[in-house]
Structure 1
């Protein structure tokens, strides 16, 4: 779908080492035949034992250390353009620091000023409403200080989550969840007390609970080029999400589909604030009303970026042709239907309850249109395939523990 500049001399440096980082490295390799560097303390096995990755170890992801590593990498590779990218929100400040301090590197990461607008979920809700995008009923709760917190006026059960993800990242490492399902006021009061005791002084959002299982979630991925034009439009219906507490809400299976009306509204909202780079929206459809409710936008490509590549539009080609080659690309609207899955299809089928949707899954399976970014023929080795098999088989244990049966709310 995008004409590739095969003479592009690039070195991808990916700040991260998870499945999402592997997908990005694979996308670069598919498009440009280049290896990528995983810059992280310790990557997962499928990167550690990969032929298309090198690993540079860092002890922290603090901007100063990352800038030092990227500067040394750039000096050693003066004949190449370093493309620096991350799919980890806590790592974004380090990427933007490197962009500002190191001459000649490029990154599809939005500016800090723009990220501050969209990552603050209260500000995000304001932007959505201003551009005709519906959002759940929301209350902002300030946890700083020790003033009593008023009871919620939103009907229970409800959802509670941090208003600004970057300031909450360390608390996930302490055992706090990304999203809380709250059934009564006493649980909410207990959460506020635990957060304050742990030292959290940021803001939380309390939102109405939108019914529907994981299959009522949608994903939208956009690339907005350096001139402010949206050149890549990707979308998928989620089939199943991860339910482990630290990974809650991350899709693990999806079917791609066009979303023209949603794409245009999302693009208009982002371009109105000067957004540049990749963006990934989380949307939920209300089964009771049919409303599409916009939950958040991630200022990055998204852990599941490979669903776009599998459907025929390699996201990394859009950013390289724009930022490195200076070519005008697109716009491309991804319409091919494929099944993207990080879990065994036998496990996935247990959680798809709608007969028509299950028929789509079965049809795509019968047509061999099932894609897993970990399974890459150009990066095949016995050791790496053992890593992949172990990762996939572990999904049975994870779902048995955290989400043994689908529910009407996905909690």
Structure 2
């Protein structure tokens, strides 16, 4: 099922619009692509190492800082880029975006210095501290009546080993760091983004490994919500500086990545209308005073049919191109808000599209429900998109996309060779 031909893109760069990105993954390229499609501009990507998703691209320029670069060196590189653009003939003030929790936290920690040169669509520090913490997220959801899985919090503050209470969540349980930015700072054997734990012994073993690694933040233990990857939903939003939600859309996940460090990142999804879930997302965003991009992870609980909210990422998310491809270009609301200083109407996806970074023959293997498989195949025949497959790019990029898809096949056969009832 080949990619649908690319949408028309702007030929001439729009005046007064510029973009700087911190990072180098698929989500970063997807942001650069969205801005290029809408405004014809070439983004500047600042990254420790230029890797496949942003290498050899005609729609962006890269600034490689080096793998050993400290956080201070990353900030200095951004300030140098911003200063250069401000003093250039156009005098641009770029929008600055990151798409990893720890990099968003880094930008927030240096917002005063960076705001001299950049538009920063960032949350206020107190809001960021709340929404980026999965434990605090669950507490807020309970307060406003947004369903979440039952949760127990283990606190490693000060390097102490927390006492593990008797759990009334059933087994297995799911365990994950409360803040991924804090989890990034530790390393230990068997480290994963998300853990499936089958008994108390496994939980105690994980607690011991976290403590030995010097982890000093909170870890959440949640009830396992049944259902495979096709029970997951993704919601993407933008809240402008006036507090208005000007971008809102969702998709049903079909397949998630299953490597230890990328567990849970959507690999395939299709856009669909999710009225109740979208309404609850808006309720959360308005209640917390949220600003900027947001990406919610949600799962339909087959036991009661209720959508349970897992977390909100304080960024647009790695899979953001599904919104742009479906007719809600993610660049438009932030430009309207910060560059044009106008109140935009809410943008929502206009088309039903299949977003996939894996080949169809691999994807169909994991869609067990024959009715869903038939529906997805029909959607894919009308419109299938891969975020890295973009018409203006040259042959080296096209070769990279083919190689990346082949590598996905290899990774799935290694880490998730056959679909399971719970997605683990």
TM-score grouping bracket, smaller chain normalisation:
over 0.9
* Aligned residue in 1 for 2:107: 95
* 2:150/2:223 contact within 8 Å kept: yes
Q: 1:52 & 1:194 partners in 2: Cα distance? A: 43
Whole-angstrom CA distance in 1 between matches of 2:298 and 2:252: 10
3-state SS of the aligned residue for 2:309?
A: strand
Structure 1 residues not aligned, in runs of 5+ = none
In structure 2, distance between residues paired with 1:180 and 1:121: 15
Match of residue 108, structure 1, among 121, 130, 133: 121
Name the SS for the 2:196 alignment partner.
strand
Map Cα deviations across residues 289-329 of structure 1 (whole Å, 9 max, x no partner): 11111000000000011000000011111101111111221
Deviations 1:59-81 (A, max 9, x none): 46755323322221122212212
Aligned: 1:410 with 2:423: yes
**Which residue number in structure 2 is paired with residue 259 of structure 1?**
274
1:76 aligns with 2:84: yes
State the Cα distance separating 1:46 from its structure 2 match.
3.6
In structure 2, distance between residues paired with 1:179 and 1:147: 19
Matches within 5 A, 1:12-31: 12-31=19-38
1:48-67 CA deviation, whole Å, 9 max, x = no partner? Answer: 21011111122467553233
**Contact 2:154-2:162 at 8 Å conserved across structures:** no
Bigger Cα displacement from structure 2, 164-173 vs 23-32? 164-173
Higher alpha-carbon deviation: 229-238 or 356-365: 356-365
Does the 8 A contact of 2:252 with 2:270 survive in 1? yes
- Of 376, 389, 392, the residue aligned with 1:378 is 392
Q: How many residues align?
A: 406
* Cross-structure match for 2:152: 139
Does the 8 Å contact 2:267/2:358 carry over to 1? yes
C-alpha contact (below 8 Å) 1:67/1:97 kept by paired residues: no
When structure 1 is superposed on structure 2, of 307-316 and 142-151 the one drifting more is 142-151
Cα distance in 2, alignment partners of residues 189 and 366 from structure 1: 48
Q: Tell me the TM-score normalized by structure 2.
A: 0.92
Q: Distance in 2 between matches of 1:276 and 1:36?
A: 23
Pair 1:58-2:73 in alignment? no
Give the aligned partner of residue 341 of structure 1. Answer: 356
Query: Which stretch has the larger CA shift, 27-36 or 144-153?
Result: 144-153
| 2:218 paired residue number | 203
Residue 226 of structure 2 contacts residue 302 of structure 2 at CA under 8 Å; is this kept in 1? yes
Give the distance between the partners of 1:213 and 1:182, measured in 2 at CA.
16
The C-alpha deviation readout for 1:135-183, integer Å capped at 9, x for no partner, is 1111111234246433433211111111122110133687511110011
> Cα distance, 1:334 vs. partner?
2.1
- What is the CA–CA distance in structure 1 between the aligned matches of 2:353 and 2:243, rounded to whole Å? 29
Q: Which moved more, 1:145-154 or 1:208-217?
A: 145-154
Deviations, residues 218-250 of structure 1 (Å, cap 9, x unaligned): 000110011000011110000000000000000
Moved more, 135-144 or 177-186: 135-144
**In 1, Cα distance between the equivalents of 2:408 and 2:254?**
15
Q: In 2 relative to 1, CA 172–333 (structure 1 residues): closer, same or farther, beyond 3 Å?
A: farther
Tell me: CA distance 1:172–1:372, structure 2 relative to 1, closer, same or farther (3 Å). farther
Q: String of CA shifts for 1:84-132, please: whole Å, max 9, x gaps.
A: 1010111112222443213141122322221101111121111111222
Check conservation: 1:220, 1:281, Cα contact below 8 A. Answer: yes
Is 2:327–2:348's contact at 8 Å kept on the other side of the alignment? no
Match of 2:140 among 96, 102, 127: 127
